[in-house]
Amino acid sequence: MTSVCMALVASLVITTTVNFVRGANWDPYSFPVNSSPYGIPYKDWSAKYWEWRVSVPKLNTPNYQDAPGYKAVECSYLQNQSSPVMFLPYVGKERGTLTTASCNIPHSKAIFIQIDGGLADYSDPTVQPKTLDTLVNQVSKSNVYPNPFDITLDGHPLSLTNDEAFKVQSDLFNFTLPPNNLWDEPAGPDKGIGQGWYLFLKPLSPGVHVLHYTTGYRSTSNDPTIPPGQGNNAAYIQDVTYRLIVK
């Protein structure tokens, strides 16, 4: 099974730079992709996100809540409690097109979430040869032809779009796969590349906040302008709502 996430989005060439015309009008609620929140480059935060996400066993992941043996855990499960940033669990396509989740958030923490993207790793048997170029190609090939993003926080539109300038690729990073991991690969140390679009919210005021977004992919099945063999295997729409309880 490929380790590229089911919710992948657009293209091959990734840059850590951003469209500064758009960046100049960035919304006040989130960090721009060319920034270094808390002294760490945005792309390195994306690697930290993936390190955490793959550390959570499959049956503690909201995507698989209907699987036998699923056990719900807090959104903060296995996260670094001393970090200034909290990662939100991915609750995407595997649970259907309409998805909701509630998370308790410490009032002082920023919030990082994948909107669309994926990870390619060396343990994936389809990654041949085991080179950095192969990883980049693997994570990129399904990251194409996304639908436009529609992202709001408490009804306020956010700046992140599916523009190439806002897509982020990590450097090669180390992580550890647990038993019964997301991709049923051998447990143990691994290396990978993450790529995609991420939303990085600044700390929110105490109270309940609603984060909502829609995204998805086009394919040759619903868009004849996409060349055969490109785009996602199947077209779909994601509609996700997070209820963020900041205390």
- Greatest CA separation found in the chain? 50
Whether 36 maps to a domain, the answer reads yes
- Amino acid residing at 180: N
Confidence grade of residue 224 (pLDDT, cut at 50, 70, 90): confident
Block residue for tokens 């991420």: 198
Whether 243 maps to a domain, the answer reads no
pLDDT of residue 227: 74
Residues 6+ positions from 24 with CB-CB distance below 8 Å: none
Whether 169 maps to a domain, the answer reads yes
Pairing of strands 98-105, 231-246: parallel
The predicted model gives 61-88 an average pLDDT of 94
Lowest mean pLDDT segment, chosen from 117-131, 141-155, 186-200: 141-155
CA-based end-to-end distance of the chain: 40
Question: Would you say 101 and 72 are in contact if contact means Cβ atoms under 8 Å apart?
Answer: no
pLDDT of residue 233: 58
Interatomic CA distance for residues 87 and 126, integer angstroms:
28
Whether 119 maps to a domain, the answer reads yes
pLDDT of residue 95: 61
| Residues facing residue 208 across a β-bridge | 245
Domain that holds residue 93: 20-98+109-144+161-206
Question: Would you say 30 and 199 are in contact if contact means Cβ atoms under 8 Å apart?
Answer: yes
Whether 67 maps to a domain, the answer reads yes
112-144 per-position pLDDT tens digit: 999 988 899 999 999 999 999 999 988 887 667
Whether 30 maps to a domain, the answer reads yes
Interatomic CA distance for residues 169 and 16, integer angstroms:
7
Whether 11 maps to a domain, the answer reads no
The count of domains in the chain is 1
| Residues facing residue 242 across a β-bridge | 101, 211
Residue 235, Cα to own-chain centre: how many angstroms? Answer: 18
205: tokens are 């005021």
Block residue for tokens 């609750």: 91
Interatomic CA distance for residues 9 and 215, integer angstroms:
9
Whether 32 maps to a domain, the answer reads yes
Cβ-based burial of 30 (10 A; exposed 0-12, middle 13-18, buried ≥19): buried
Phi, psi of 42 (to 5 degrees): -50, -45
